[in-house]
A = this chain, B = another copy of it.
Amino acid sequence: MNKRHVSLKDLARELQVSISTVSRALNDHPDISPEMKEKVKKLADSCHYSPNPLAMGLLKQETRMIGVIVPDLVTHFYASVIAGIESYAKEKGYFILIASSNESFQKEKESVENLLKARVEGLIVCLSQETNSTDHFERLLEQEIPLVFFDRVCLQGRVSCVTADNTDAAAKVVRHFFEQGYRRIAFISGPQQLNISKERREGYLLGLKACGLPEDPDLAEQCNMSHDSARAAMHRLLSLPQPPDAVFGINDTVAFAVMKAIRQHGLQIPSQVGLVGFTDEFHSTVVEPPLTSVTHPTFKMGRKAAELFFENIEKKEVRTITVRTRLVARESSAGPEVTVPGKPLHSID
């Protein structure tokens, strides 16, 4: 057998019956006699027959494919969310088609285009950092193509979204720093247009106010979330006349870059500078000192996004889910001046 895949036609020819008989036999249609069914199924099995999804897709007008667009593939956060999406999609018999925008607005638009050309049934997207217009998504809404955003979102209310409790989490970080004894708390955020920047910044400011700390514009830095850009931001902070004694990085990449910058300045964590990241469990425990961080339930976030996707497909429902983060205190924020190595770690919920 040279052909890669057998079709109903092949089976029909082999058995000297019509294609429809073969189809119905395989689908257990009552019109077909038990003997015929058995004969057909036996041959189909031995030939590794499986229905051609292209033909089915054409017929049923569904491809059972979901397009997923992420800023990049190698960041643990996205990889983990994708794993979550994939896990749920698999249960539903769907495949995912992955495209990465490389944080580029242009590439994001192209990816939307390409995935639609591939006839995915809808998209699950995390916005690129550059994205400042929503036209390419508006078009999807018009055509009623299912769309779900996660983490970096837009068009809330009109599109299903999964986000973290960003504002809450950031406020908790500030309170944690305060309780540990830090007083000049800096925040390194990402691009303005991203909701995660806005929300976490808002939480940061709320947290300062709640702790009775003054708001110092110098301490609210910004970067484009790349390693180099984050390190540059941290260098600026450390070069201030009154440098911060604690830093909250908006995500994992930023936190690690900040760590390097602190080391380059010859400073100690946590005694001279406290550090908290917004990151995942795995990396936090690998670095030294272990990083206090707001941990994301990333895999769950992916599964929730997929759930919303299917709600959208099946019930045309649009909904926003907020996943709860946890602040896990580790050594990097153990307190200024005096290092407390033996101090038991605690978790704030």
Contact = CB atoms under 8 A, between A and B. Distances in A.
A5 interface: yes
Interface in A36-78: 50, 52-55, 57-58, 63, 72-74, 76
B54 A58 contact: yes
Contact of A288 (B79, B99, B287): B287
Contact of A76 (B74, B95, B99): B74
Nearest to A282: B74
A63 B54 contact: yes
A100 B119 contact: no
Contact of A118 (B53, B83, B285): B53
B76 A72 contact: no
B76 A83 contact: no
Nearest to A113: B50
A7 B298 CA distance: 39
Interface string A259-301: 1100000000000000000000011011111000000000000
Nearest to A107: B90
A100 B90 CA distance: 11
Contacts of A116: 50
A44 to B, nearest CB: 13
A4 interface: yes
B100 A50 contact: no
Contacts of A287: 286-288
Contacts of A98: 82, 86, 96, 98
A145 interface: yes
A-side interface size class: 35 or more
A76 B73 CA distance: 9
A117 interface: yes
A80 interface: yes
A119 B256 contact: no
A66 to B, nearest CB: 11
Nearest to A76: B74
Nearest to A57: B54
Contacts of A97: 95-97
A259 B283 CA distance: 13
A347 interface: no
A257 to B, nearest CB: 9
A117 B54 CA distance: 10
Contacts of A133: none
Nearest to A73: B83
16 contacts: A5-B119, A53-B117, A53-B119, A54-B54, A54-B57, A58-B58, A74-B80, A74-B83, A76-B76, A86-B100, A95-B97, A95-B118, A98-B98, A286-B286, A286-B287, A287-B287
Which 8 A/B pairs are nearest by Cβ-Cβ distance? A288-B288, A73-B83, A54-B57, A74-B79, A79-B79, A50-B117, A54-B54, A54-B58
